[in-house]
Structure 1
Amino acid sequence: MSTENEILAEVEALKARFSDTKALYREVCALLFFRYGITPTTNKLYQYVRKGTMGTPAEALAKFWDELRVKARVEIDHPDLPPEIKTVAAEAIAAIWQQATAAARSDLAAIRLELQADQERSREQEAQAQAAAEQLRGELELARHALQQVQLELEAERLAHAGAQARLQQAQEQLEQGHAQQQRLQEGFSADLAKAREAVDTAQERAAAAERRALLEIEQERQARAKADKASEALRSQLSQAESRERQASLEHTEAFTRLTGQLQAAEAGHQAEQASRVLLEQQVRALHDQLAASRQEATQYRTEAVTVHGLLERLAPPTAPAPAPTKPARKRTAK
């Protein structure tokens, strides 16, 4: 149980004991201050008690502090002591009382902590015990379930055993039938074995005859193979001679082809040279033709210019002056 819950329980107990609201508030103040070491306030008192108005806990709290101060005040009445010493002594005793009260509160807090720790340990032990009990219940339930499962398996095993007994009886009957059938099969096998031996003897005789025929055929095949080898050797010789003749003819053809190729290349080279010279001559002829055409064109131009100049001179010359012949300037132009 937490401190808050303990305080609430104590307050409920005080409510049952004190019907007067102010007295109840004073008792709650004493409970909080002396037992739990909590400084009481108006809001906290009203929160715990919840009776009267907000002025009621304030008034009760003021009276509580006044009573506490009166109780805490120490008066030393001695006729021979001066007032200063009385005051100092009273303050010292008050300080001692306060220290004792604080020590008592500290011890009370330590005891309360120990009690709370014991309560926590008790709760933990109780929780562990409950957990162990739950675990035991679970294990018991598992054991019961396992027992039921084993019983079911045992019943199934009994049924299986009964079925196995029935199958064993049936298997024994089938085994006896099998023995009888095996006896019949052995008798039939003996008869079949005798027939098989006779057939094997006959087959061996046939195999011996076939072996003799095979040996004879092998000898004939060997002789034929020897003849074929001789014929093959002769054919190889003929083939070698034919290959030699073929190589000789190929060499001769190659030489002839080489000679013809050289002659053809020489002829092509001469033909190319002739073509080159002919092209060069044609180019020179075309150049001469071009020069001749250019010369003729220049001569024609010169003649035209001479005729034009001669006509101009005739028009510009005086009438008395003899006119030059039109052909002479042209001839001079041509001579030039």
Structure 2
Amino acid sequence: MSDESALLAEIELLKAKFSDTRALYREVCALLFFRHGITPTGNKLYQYVRRGSMSVPTEELAKFWDDLRHKARVDIEHPDLPAEVKAIAAEAIAALWCQATAAARGELAAARLELQADAEAARSAQLAAEQAANQVSAAADQLRAELAKRDEAFRAAQAELEAERRAHAGTQARGQELQTQLEQARTQQQRQQEAFSADLVRARADIGAAQERAAAAERRALMEIEQERQARGRADKTAEGLRDKLADAESRERRQSLEHAEAVTRLQMELNAKTAALRGAHENKGGLLREIDTLRQQLVAAQQASARYEAEAQTLQVLVQRLTPPPAPAPRGGRSKKAGADGS
């Protein structure tokens, strides 16, 4: 084992043995000076021990030299030593003491300067740390304020989202209700359309029957007029006028029937268009239903007009039958006069 390793091992033993820092520094000074012949200094002591501040090894080193000088002076003043030896030893110890004291003072001054520099650095570091702490505190306060604002904004956004959800739920409910109403309206409209179609078919059938009856009445009247031409001598003029009226009425009836058929077709087309518009636009549902009711009323009016035309045809048929003379000559003349009177 080398001297350095042995020295470090002995110092470690001293560290384990002495818990007091100053006592440990004094023992290390004695170890270096007496056992290993090394002149102790403050830096060496601190490098070996590494405890306390830099001023502790310097102070303990000064105490060590004071103790050593005191002990050396006692030994030198021993009466058994010659005077020359006492003088040489005293001079040697005094020189060594002066050197050690100067070195200790220099190391103490350096240690003080170093300590002052460390203190200044520590104060600067503390000031910078305080400034950084203030900045961090200000940043933390600002961050807390921003977090509070964000929390408020988040809560407001949550409230708005909840309101939107409720509004959306209400909208969905209203949409479902409107869908149900639309389905009911479609069903009702389908039923009304079917009833309208049935009424239209019946109206067309009634118009066709009226036209057939009118045509049959016309044919029958013409045949009867042709057969009774000789017997209706004086009533020819009146019958001719009635036939003209009948022809005009029939023409008007056909024209009105055509107009009625066109109106019914137009109403059917409008109803179909309104039905398609009802399916495409829910908001116009009420207006379309009112228009359908209007169309239905117009259809009823058309049916009433058809019935009126049929009644006029029946009335004309009754007039023709009245104008038709009976088989007997004598009553035929009287009937012709009566017919002429009715025609006039």
TM-score by length of 1: 0.29
TM-score using structure 2 length: 0.28
Asked which structure has the greater CA Rg, the reply is: 1
Q: Which has the higher contact order (CA 8 A, sep 6+)?
A: 2
